[in-house]
């Protein structure tokens, strides 16, 4: 077996060229077997096997830096850089990350989980190396989808002026930026790498630049003439306009071709774009046939690609159904996503209402400001983006939506704890970041019915910007308290007797004792929680009840505005209050409400349970909550500590 013997890229370089197809097959088999058990990013990783092999055979990591944009396609990179033995732990608690991670390996230069960052990172790293007289190439591997992010173009604009040893590998697996026109295209691609071509290009550049430019009427015509002359003699496109050399498109699964190209590119003294064409999911037919579904997957059966399915409705599925119902009733409702139509549950909407669905690509900032424009024009846009990715558009939310008070509805999927993907994907910051913004309404539903009511409120009962945040989680079983009509600023009070009948019969307290009011001598605690933590709080309340402490739950449907008078009057009925939220504690709703309560009642006992001031790594939901001391066990302990 070839793969198990590779401890570093140096070992990879010793493998004979004729053995590389065998190595590629071994890598694909290992990735498929591991992702089938652990879940993860499959299609993107299967598509870059040969490309990653070629990069590591030509360049010398870590002397040369290989930077993967987003880095969900770095599984082959991990296998070739000493992590074969630990690869089975990928995305597991205390295992290796599904993304590049600096503390994990000297071959990982950045913790990358968001898109379009690699060229900026590479340019900064290379500039620092040059300043410190350190030799080395920087290779930024970026997908065609990531080029829809404005940050990538900002970096290319800067890199064209500054960088010499920067190589941008454009992994094109969906669309062709420069169509392959056969032999002419291949000829021009090879021509750009020759010394003669470089001299010829410089000669043409100097010659054309000597044509005088006029600011008067002939100016535009002369400018077009200069560009036209260059276009006749030189292979020009968007990248060359930025100041890069361009090579490609190349077959991204032909290792020899890739190695030959990279070896030639290494000698160029200008920034270069190497454009390669790859097939997502290559080598595994279910992923090849449906790369979108197999982009990020849970465990599945290798034989047929069938994934595990759950009977309970998720918050995402509930959103999918609810927005279709709303759009059927109101023709002004539109939906926007940033290249995540399936992940956000908008794929069904996109098929049903094609003229009201907009996938803007990986461009969250544009998505928000585009939504502001739709609202200004009389539509009601619903922007569905993961909580972690909306962080990229904070300025647009403030300046373009909240300030002019446009009616835009934001649906933040994956708010709170996010299993598997680790620190870059936790949705723990949106409350602290966005709740202080004027004109914003923020809701946190705890169930399917509450989620449905929240979206209906956002679309029909207000004209302000609205944020609805909800977790990557199955909706809890419906309780009677969830059925109430929405009242602005107020949450849902779930009384102990509403969930006590579900207690097991071996509890010391029988359900009928609670229902008949025989718990009057108990201490009483109120759990105040955001919707995403309701499942954990419900378990904690049941644990507290076993210790002869009566526990009710107040689910904060509204995080802003708050009916503060109603809340403080409600809290006066309890001996203690525990605030629980699926966000960071600093600047969170828990700290705010605790301060509010103490201003009204200095004697009431309180405890704030929120996520700590550190980044949380990967694991399942239970493991992440346990590590952060936010499990039902820890929540119940906090309540009991009050007495």
Which residues participate in catalysis according to the annotation?
280, 364, 392
Break the chain down into helix, strand, coil percent, rounded to 5.
45, 15, 40
Which residues 6+ apart lie within 8 Å of 148 measured at CB? 116, 339, 360, 361, 362, 363
In a 13 Å sphere around the CA of 389, the CA atoms on its Cβ side amount to: 29
Query: Can you say how many angstroms the Cα of residue 335 is from the centroid of all Cα atoms in its chain?
Result: 19
Q: Select from 139, 176, 201 the least CA-distant residue to 275.
A: 176
**Cβ–Cβ < 8 Å for 530, 590:** no
Which residues 6+ apart lie within 8 Å of 29 measured at CB? none
Please count the other Cβ atoms lying within 10 Å of the Cβ belonging to residue 309.
6
CA gap 126, 374 in Å, rounded:
41
For residue 95, is it left (φ>0), alpha (ψ between -120 and 50) or beta? beta
What does the block give as tokens for 348?
A: 């069904």
Q: Is 512 exposed, middle or buried (0-12, 13-18, 19+ CB in 10 A)?
A: exposed
Q: Where are the alpha helices (DSSP H) in 344-491?
A: 347-352, 364-376, 387-390, 394-396, 430-434, 448-460
Q: Select from 355, 361, 437 the least CA-distant residue to 401.
A: 437
Q: Is the dihedral of CA 193, 198, 200, 204 positive or negative?
A: positive
Which residues 6+ apart lie within 8 Å of 328 measured at CB? none
Helix axes 20-38, 49-58, angle to 10 degrees: 120
CA gap 106, 60 in Å, rounded:
12
CA gap 173, 194 in Å, rounded:
27
C-alpha distance from residue 104 to each of 65, 111, 125 (Å): 15, 10, 19
**Cβ–Cβ < 8 Å for 431, 530:** yes
CA dihedral 334, 337, 340, 341 (to 10 degrees): 10
Q: Where are the alpha helices (DSSP H) in 478-620?
A: 496-499, 511-515, 534-546, 564-571, 589-600
**Cβ–Cβ < 8 Å for 518, 568:** no
CA gap 269, 248 in Å, rounded:
18
Helix axes 564-571, 589-600, angle to 10 degrees: 70
What does the block give as tokens for 177?
A: 């930026």
CA dihedral 184, 185, 191, 193 (to 10 degrees): -170
What does the block give as tokens for 384?
A: 């569905």
């Amino acid at each position: 077996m070839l793969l198990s013997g590779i401890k570093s890229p140096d070992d990879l370089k010793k493998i004979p060229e004729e053995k590389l197809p065998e190595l590629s097959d071994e890598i694909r088999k290992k990735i498929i077997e591991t992702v089938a058990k652990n879940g993860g990013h499959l299609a993107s990783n299967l598509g870059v096997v040969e490309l990653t092999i070629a990069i590591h055979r030509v360049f010398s990591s870590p002397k040369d830096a290989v930077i993967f944009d987003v880095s969900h396609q770095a599984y082959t990179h991990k296998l070739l850089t000493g992590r074969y033995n630990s690869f089975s732990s990928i995305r597991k608690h205390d295992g290796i990350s599904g993304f590049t991670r600096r503390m994990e390996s000297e071959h990982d230069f950045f913790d990358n989980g968001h898109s379009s960052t690699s060229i900026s990172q590479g340019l900064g790293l290379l500039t620092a190396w040059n300043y410190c007289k350190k030799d080395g190439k920087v290779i930024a591997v970026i997908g065609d989808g990531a080029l829809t992010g404005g940050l990538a173009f900002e970096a290319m604009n800067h890199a064209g002026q500054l960088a010499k040893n920067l190589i941008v590998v454009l992994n094109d697996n969906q669309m062709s930026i420069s169509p392959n026109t056969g032999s002419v295209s291949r000829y021009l691609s090879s021509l750009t790498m020759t010394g003669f071509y470089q001299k010829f290009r410089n000669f043409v550049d100097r010659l054309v630049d000597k044509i005088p430019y006029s600011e008067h009427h002939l100016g535009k015509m002369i400018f077009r003439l200069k560009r036209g002359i260059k276009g006749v003699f030189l292979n020009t496109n968007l990248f060359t306009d930025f100041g890069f050399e361009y090579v490609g498109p190349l077959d991204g699964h032909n290792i020899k071709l890739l190695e030959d190209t990279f070896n030639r590119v290494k000698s160029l003294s200008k920034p270069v774009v190497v454009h390669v064409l790859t097939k997502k999911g290559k080598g595994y037919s279910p992923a090849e046939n449906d790369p979108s579904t197999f982009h990020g997957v849970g465990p599945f059966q290798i034989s047929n690609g069938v994934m595990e399915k759950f009977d309970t409705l998720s918050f995402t599925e509930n959103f999918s159904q609810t927005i279709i119902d709303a759009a059927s009733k109101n023709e002004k409702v539109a939906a926007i996503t940033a290249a995540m139509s399936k992940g956000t549950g908008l794929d069904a909407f996109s098929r049903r209402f094609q003229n009201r669905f907009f996938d803007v690509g990986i461009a969250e900032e544009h998505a928000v400001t585009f939504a502001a424009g739709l609202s200004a024009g009389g539509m009601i846009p619903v922007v569905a983006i993961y909580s972690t990715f909306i962080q990229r558009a904070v300025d647009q939310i403030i300046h373009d939506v909240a300030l002019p008070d446009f009616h835009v509805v934001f649906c933040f999927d994956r708010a709170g704890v996010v299993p598997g993907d680790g620190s870059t994907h936790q949705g723990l910051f949106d409350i602290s970041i966005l709740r202080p913004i004027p004109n914003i309404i923020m809701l946190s539903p705890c169930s399917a019915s509450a989620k449905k009511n929240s979206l209906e409120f956002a679309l029909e009962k207000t004209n302000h910007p609205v944020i609805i945040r909800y977790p990557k989680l199955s909706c809890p079983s419906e309780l009677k308290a969830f059925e109430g009509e929405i009242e602005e600023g107020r949450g849902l009070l779930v009384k102990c007797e509403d969930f006590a009948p579900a207690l097991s019969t071996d509890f010391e307290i029988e359900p009928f004792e609670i229902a008949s009011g025989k718990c009057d001598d108990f201490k009483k605690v109120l759990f105040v929680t955001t919707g995403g933590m309701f499942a954990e709080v419900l378990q904690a309340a049941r644990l507290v009840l076993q210790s002869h402490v009566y526990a009710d739950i107040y689910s904060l449907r509204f995080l802003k505005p708050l009916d503060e008078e109603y809340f403080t009057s409600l809290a006066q009925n309890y001996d203690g209050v525990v605030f629980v939220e699926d966000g960071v504690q600093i600047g969170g709703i828990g700290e705010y409400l605790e301060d509010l309560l103490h201003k009204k009642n200095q004697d009431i006992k309180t405890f704030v349970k929120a996520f700590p001031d550190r980044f949380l790594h990967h694991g399942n939901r239970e493991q992440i909550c346990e590590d952060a001391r936010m499990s039902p066990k820890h929540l119940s302990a906090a309540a009991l500590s009050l007495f």
